[in-house]
Structure 1
Amino acid sequence: MTENHHDDGGVDTGLSLSFQAEYLSDQRAFHDYAYVVLGDDRAAEQAVHTALVLVRDSWDDLLVESNMQQQVWAILRGVVQEYRDRAERNAIAQGLDDYRQGLSQLNGDQGVFEAVITLPPQQFDAVILRYILCYTPQRIEWYMGISKATVARYCREGKARIEQAVPSLLKKTGDTAAGDQSERGTQE
């Protein structure tokens, strides 16, 4: 196990001088970039720390790169993007939870709210994101981590479950339930 020795500037003096120089020369610029993207000082500090650990761990490989500085920035940008994606996914998940709770407190005379909140979690997320919040299938795919085909299936199945649970809604909107050919033929 190696001991960490810090000078007065808080730099680990057990690290190579070239890494220390990189760290000291770019630390402020790294933080500024991370702060602009993430909008939060603590998150920016964490992202920069994570990126610098990755840089440190691959320092010997980076030293032989033709443009080491570009590679170091690429590592930082990748880490910052991961932090941003994680924060955005967490915000979407919290919003969906809040939406489900809000719907459970509403009373509709047609049973739409009840039908929506009884959807399985992934169908609920896909239906709300697609039809209420108007997310693109690609954006839902990114958020849920599933294929576009699965997004389409969840949306289709969720919508069908709602339509099946709320037939009075179908009559008012003029839509027909899947497989109901009698009304479908008259609408075309």
Structure 2
Amino acid sequence: MNEEPLFAIGPDPARDPDAGQSATPAVDLPVDLPIDYEAFVLTYRGRYLRLAEEILGDPAAAEKVVHQVLVQIAIHWPQLLAGPDVVVNAWGLLCHALRFEVRRRESDPELIARLERLRAMLAQMRAALPDAYTVDDDGRVQTGIFEQLGRLTPRQFDIVILRAAKRSTYFIAWFLGTHPSTVDRNLKRALAQLEEGLHPLHVLKSARPTRRGARR
């Protein structure tokens, strides 16, 4: 299984020429902000804050990082509007800033340990999945939960497990290095596949009829 990035998408701060400085300099918001930018902030600021708090565990640090990201978005708003997708590009800036902050806090053993434990949990659970389907004496494939989880793609499996661990869509996207819409799409497909594989009617249809049923 391919390794997924631990600290999400965006440039690696360790390779940035400005790695010794803040990823998003602390400056004030420009004046006369366009109304579409203000609408963007109203829509996404709360989500960004919840994600930053979920990752950092520090509301004050989360507020600072999100403020700095929104400042950078405001400064580069015309360029972002000219790009293919404002939301995706803004998400990349947020991930870069959070990634930088996590790296900057490498001296925080609790933060790093939490993230490493999460990654280790996913690896252990993947390793515990069966390598093949269980087949009963009549040659029927068993449809247990472990077999069905084993049918998911690695990305789908990680998303399902992280969601079961009550992680938010934004956190999962950051942790796996993808976009929230990709998380939602993969989760929907994975749950549909699990529902199909574990649905009682699916099991009944695959079972041989009883003698009473055969007579009918």
Indicate whether the TM-score tops 0.5.
Answer: no
**Bigger proportion of residues as helix:** 1
- After TM superposition, the score normalised by the length of structure 2 is 0.37
Higher relative contact order (CA 8 A, sep 6+): 2
Larger Rg, first or second structure (1 or 2): 1
- After TM superposition, the score normalised by the length of structure 1 is 0.41
